Amino acid sequence: MYVYLLQVAHLTLNQTFAEIVNVPSSYLLAKADGVIGLAYSSFSVDDVVPLFYNILKKELIKKPVFSFYMNRYISIQPSEYF
């Protein structure tokens, strides 16, 4: 486990991340990406607080609401997290 000083937009906080040290070979061939902090806390490994829960716990935002935009046309405008 590692704790990083993470900055998302105007928010800065210490966030714990689990380190992946072994993955099945099929993962190495997959084209996959992830969005951090959007899992339910019940999915957490070793009781690590997911990013969005941590943001709420530290009262860094006023309402428990988030959104993100993923654009399939990368050349027009990149995807964003609001």
In sequence order, the β-bridge partners of residue 68 are 81
Question: What domains can you pick out in the chain, each with its CATH number?
Answer: 2-81 (2.40.70.10)
Q: Which residue has the tokens 């943001």?
A: 55
pLDDT tens readout for residues 58-73 = 999 999 988 777 667 6
> Whole-prediction pTM value?
0.66
Going by C-alpha positions, the residue among 60, 78, 53, 59 that lies closest to residue 68 is: 78
pLDDT tens readout for residues 25-61 = 777 776 655 557 677 888 887 888 888 899 999 999 9
